[in-house]
Amino acid sequence: MHPISVARTVLEEAPHVLLVGEGAEHFARTMGCEEGDLSTDETREVYAAFVADAFEHKGIDESQSWVVEYASSQNLRDWYTRLSDDLHGTVNVLALDKSGDIASAVSTSGTALKFPGRLGDSPIVGAGNYCDNRYGAAGCTGRGELAIRNATARIIIHSLELGLNITDAATRAMRDIHELDTFGGMNCLIMDARGNTVSATTNADRDSVHWYMNTEMQAPQKRIGLNVPNATRC
């Protein structure tokens, strides 16, 4: 099924903000949303290799009892860092129109080989994205559990509300991620109510990059953001 169609339908037809799992599937079918298989030859190959590597003697069944065995036998920190960039990732889009209305949109592939039922930060308003016409918008990409624990997107907008500029708000949010002292990284994209933008990352090995475009530009502009190191490990 198409997640965007489901989300729009839920917002328009139901009193809830978020539906997940079997309940979301049942609702989508009831509302006539199209079903589809999102797997590809590459993802099926990766999944087969994962099963062969992690469960040589058993395999995966629908009881999900394998989750306990997997969690007990694997070093999740090392496993997560082995995932290449093309096995996870998120697209953040922040927009401001001529009326001053602000929107934030997030599309994510999700973390590959996650536990059944795992929900990342992208669909959670306040964690993976948040916007407020008075102050601005924010989106996140990285290990979603970190943004969920810190309510990162909402914290960024609250920082703008308190009077911080976008650079200071981004720096504060990324430092808060470091304070969790766990594996994985986080990135954020911020736009204030005047259209100023900045991005930031906790990843010390790469630049934070985002693209900016307004109605007067013929092509998007590449902008280099902030790298916020872990002060306790420098």
Q: At what angle do helices 166-179 and 152-161 cross, to 10 degrees?
A: 140
Instruction: Mark whether 90 is an active-site residue.
Output: yes
CB 96 within 8 A of CB 80: no
Spatial separation of the C-alpha atoms in residues 150 and 145, rounded to whole Å: 9
What 3-state DSSP class applies to 220? Answer: coil
Q: At 45, list the tokens.
A: 């190959």
- The type of residue at 159 is S
CB-CB neighbours of 125 under 10 Å: 17
Looking at 40, 43, 81, 90, which residue is catalytic? 90
Q: At 133, list the tokens.
A: 């016409």
Write out the catalytic residue numbers. Answer: 90
